[in-house]
Amino acid sequence: MTDPQQLAIMKILASLSATAFGAFRQLFFLITIRMTAISINHGNMPASALGYALYGYFLCSNHEDIEAGCQFARLGLDQVQRLDAKEWHSRVWSNAHFFVSHWKAPLKDIPDQFQAAYCKGLECGDFQNAAFSAFHGCLFPYFSGTTRNLAELQQKALPLKESALQMKQLQMIPRFNILLQAIHALRYGRTSAQYLKGEYYDEELMVPLHLQAFDFPCLFMLYLHKLLLDYLSGDFRQAVEAASNRR
């Protein structure tokens, strides 16, 4: 693609996609559809790789067309390699593997892809997606059960959290802290039966801050962890409360 107007439109759409995902999901999907349509009609550019990966997510989640969704995600991964778009590598890989790969690929294989995206983000200065990948490289083995050694997972997460802090990706720090506190609770027991609190995270202190920041994905993560911890401890009533929380 060489049309300067279409190039500018694609860059604007790509820059809006992350914000739209958190704020207005319907707009996010419209952006992904538009990016894909521009690439098909006008030719590929580096941002096309992101559009294809996100369109793959749209097909998997909205239309349950897993096969086509995975093909578009693979197209995005192939495009970023073929165009040698290093500055897009971390973002495309992190989004493709977070949103799409788990529909077909074994979960045990995905953390390695996040590690690659993390390294590429560091290399190219894409700190936002580097931190995103670092966190999900820890989260996937935790939820999937593909790691049986929580101590090793904790030791992996701690330096990655510090890396995110050094990159000033502060939005990822509470997510790391929630994960670390949940791991600590599984290893040593909970300090509070009602709240997730301890060395790494204090629910009573942090929930008002999450609400103030409209960080609803972080709140979702908190209550998902609480749901699992309550279930594993046999407190099913409290697990239901965590599952039905509508904050």
- Express each pLDDT in 75-84 by its tens digit: 999 999 998 8
For 83-138, the pLDDT digits (tens) are: 888 899 999 999 999 999 999 988 888 999 999 999 999 999 999 999 999 999 99
Terminal-to-terminal C-alpha distance of the chain: 44
pTM for the model: 0.89
For 137-182, the pLDDT digits (tens) are: 999 999 888 767 899 999 999 999 999 999 999 999 999 999 999 9
The sign of the dihedral angle between the CA atoms of 56, 77, 165, 148 is positive
Rounded CA-CA distance 172/129 in Å is 10
Give how far Cα 137 sits from Cα of 119, 161, 179, 192, Å: 12, 12, 12, 28
Nearest to 9 by CA among 67, 48, 59: 48
Rounded CA-CA distance 127/86 in Å is 13
107 and 84 Cβ atoms separated by less than 8 Å = no
Mean pLDDT of 231-247: 84
